Structure 1
Amino acid sequence: MDLKNAVAVVTGANRGLGRHLAAQLLERGAKVYGAARRPETVDLEGVIPLRLDVTDEESIRSATRIATDATLLVNNAGISTATPLIAGGRDAVRLEMETNFFGPLAVTREFAPVIEGNGGGAVLNVLSVLSWLHPADLGSYAAAKAAAWALTNATREELAPRGITVSALHVGYMDTDMAAAVPADQKADPAEVAARALAGLEEGQSEILADEITRYVKQGLAASPNPA
């Protein structure tokens, strides 16, 4: 995809990886809508703040009526509550699935006709190494990201005839608020991850593996799970 001429909508653009993605898209010449639940927190000069809550379908529809020229959707917004599936609260599990799976699905459903109407384009879903690696203490997050991986693969096939490519970005821990408790030497620089993601989009990669741990885990998917 030619990012220089893209019109991007980046969800969760007010901080972390989303902020880096928005900034680097702008640097590459794209027009960028920075979407957030509180658009006043999007403070990047040149980025157009856009109110969008991925769990609120009316706010998504309102966003499509503003970003009518969109050709690229970046589904970046997400949460992690560190909730196990059995011992954890059901409300937290549902919240993660609503935000990390149903949210990107809802945004993609609403923006797909917009992108198609503008001649086609792309969707980038920000996923995780935990799409494939499922630790018990992060069970709800892993389950939601695994579902989002399936969402990515299924919508790639469904949207291809409409001129829309769908890519996944998989990454381990990044130096963002979500991974604040993780030791620094285990975290990737989100600016570097954003650069790899955009390079992958330009190259037409359907699956972008942002760091070594993600590549290692992906290579091991064919192995049998370890016995309990």
Structure 2
Amino acid sequence: MTRGVVRTGAFVTAGIFLVVGCSGGGGSDNSNKIKGAEAATHSASPSASASPGGQRPKITFPSYAKNVFEGQQTGDPKKDAVLADNAQRVNSIDDAIFQGKADTPALDFYSTGPAIGSAMAFIKGWVTHRETWVGVTRYFDRKVSFRDDGAAVVIYCSDESKAYIKDEKTGKVDRSPATSDAYVLYNTRLVKSNQGVWRTVDVASKRGASECQP
């Protein structure tokens, strides 16, 4: 079973989608999905230092799990900083899952408002069932736009088809074949803190989204 499939309900927030479509602003053409895209890839870093500002909490993944983020370098420093903190927010959630607790410094550092509540509920589902995951989760088609109020919107897809749920009680890994539910569309809103960190405030997600299917 791919990761997240049995936990997805807790991660979908009541927030509306902020920009229509996975293209992130200006059209809904999905022809540039990951096939043929030339994008840099980044795995979870031992330390969250991708963008400036603040003493960033350490994030460390176990050797058997990795997040890969495509399209990190856009050529626009402001967009790159937003994408870096978006990636670290994702990493902070998985870091909490691996630690088995929902009150890590990194989680609060990269999330605030409704987003931290939804993240904690999601994490607690894993912790309660004593589950983690193994493998690789890929994040792609990441697009940034900016609102008139200064907030940023990041819309992106995830591919969980090569990440699998591990039962910590037995050590068994469920490697059931992936379905369309392994692909998730996320729509997030971020605001910049006084320390220069782009913190995620709102999250909406759609599992099995057609926009993210291969």
TM-score of the two chains, using structure 1 as the length reference: 0.31
Higher helix share: 1
Higher RCO, 1 vs 2 (CA within 8 Å, ≥6 residues apart): 2
Higher strand share: 2
TM-score of the two chains, using structure 2 as the length reference: 0.32
